[in-house]
Amino acid sequence: GEDVEQSLFLSVREGDSSVINCTYTDSSSTYLYWYKQEPGAGLQLLTYIFSNMDMKQDQRLTVLLNKKDKHLSLRIADTQTGDSAIYFCAESIGDYKLSFGAGTTVTVRA
Amino acid sequence: GAVVSQHPSWVICKSGTSVKIECRSLDFQATTMFWYRQFPKQSLMLMATSNEGSKATYEQGVEKDKFLINHASLTLSTLTVTSAHPEDSSFYICSASTIAGGLVLDEQYFGPGTRLTVT
């Protein structure tokens, strides 16, 4: 099975909040990440959280980390059409390796 | 800044032939490059890690003789799929980082990917 799991699809109405959930397995991960991939483009680092933090807020983005349950979430406030993309959760495994989830396709509807 | 390109963006080849995929860092020097493979609806799987001027380090289960990686310069890494078969059809993604070895943030800059179809 995969080490990082996330749901494959999320549909949200424009203006609402989106919440993407992820579970991971490596309790020694130093960083946990959210990447965004738009069509035809490479993955771009959206935000990250250090493993000793519970929450990180960056403008419309809020990352919550529950280390006990190994659960990571990304909340996008006031979701816009430009937020439609695939979002990947990833954990660091070792010095520089990343382990990714399968990606959640977020579709924003008017 | 930190743009990574891949060429080609898609390629179709016949079974038994070899195909080369290029990964370039356009505006920075990449001491370390990574190659991933992604099957539909599955996660990116790290295939190998290469440091400029060194032999690539392959992940368990990845055949180094089948997936040849060359990282001859600080801006270019190539992945050659030798004697390709239909089961090698996948989305191949490279990424690059500017710090060799342990990264402070582990941030990698990703290319847009190459879709390989083997017929």
Q: How many CB atoms lie within 10 A of CB B68?
A: 16
Q: Does B41 touch chain A (CB under 8 A)?
A: yes
The first and second tokens of residue A57, run together, are 């807020």
The shortest CB-CB distance from B103 to any of A2, A8, A96 is to A96
What pLDDT score was predicted for residue B104?
52
* pLDDT tens digits for range A41-81: 888 889 999 888 999 999 999 999 999 999 999 999 999 99
* pLDDT tens digits for range B12-58: 999 999 999 999 999 888 888 999 998 877 788 999 999 888 889 99
For residue A58, the one-letter residue type is D
**A45–B43 C-beta distance less than 8 A:** no
**How far is Cα A5 from Cα A102, in angstroms, rounded to an integer?**
7
What pLDDT score was predicted for residue A95?
62
Q: Does A7 touch chain B (CB under 8 A)?
A: no
Are B9 and B113 in contact by the 8 Å Cβ rule? The answer is yes
The first and second tokens of residue A20, run together, are 């993407």
- Please state, rounded to an integer, the average pLDDT across all residues of chain A: 90
* pLDDT tens digits for range A1-49: 458 999 899 999 999 999 999 999 887 878 899 999 988 788 888 999 9
Share of chain B above pLDDT 70, in %: 92
- Please state, rounded to an integer, the average pLDDT across all residues of chain B: 89
* pLDDT tens digits for range B68-97: 999 889 899 999 999 999 999 999 999 998
Q: How far is CA B67 from CA A45, A46, A96, B16, B24, in A?
A: 27, 30, 21, 13, 18
Pairing of strands A55-58, A61-66: antiparallel
What pLDDT score was predicted for residue B43?
82
**B102–A95 C-beta distance less than 8 A:** yes
Positive/negative CA dihedral, B56, B61, B64, B69: negative
Q: How many CB atoms lie within 10 A of CB B51?
A: 16
Q: How many CB atoms lie within 10 A of CB B33?
A: 30
Q: Does B105 touch chain A (CB under 8 A)?
A: yes
For residue A67, the one-letter residue type is K
**How far is Cα B18 from Cα B34, in angstroms, rounded to an integer?**
20
CB pairs under 8 A between A and B: 59
**A42–B105 C-beta distance less than 8 A:** no
What pLDDT score was predicted for residue B27?
85
Q: Could you identify the residue written with the tokens 């989305």?
A: B91
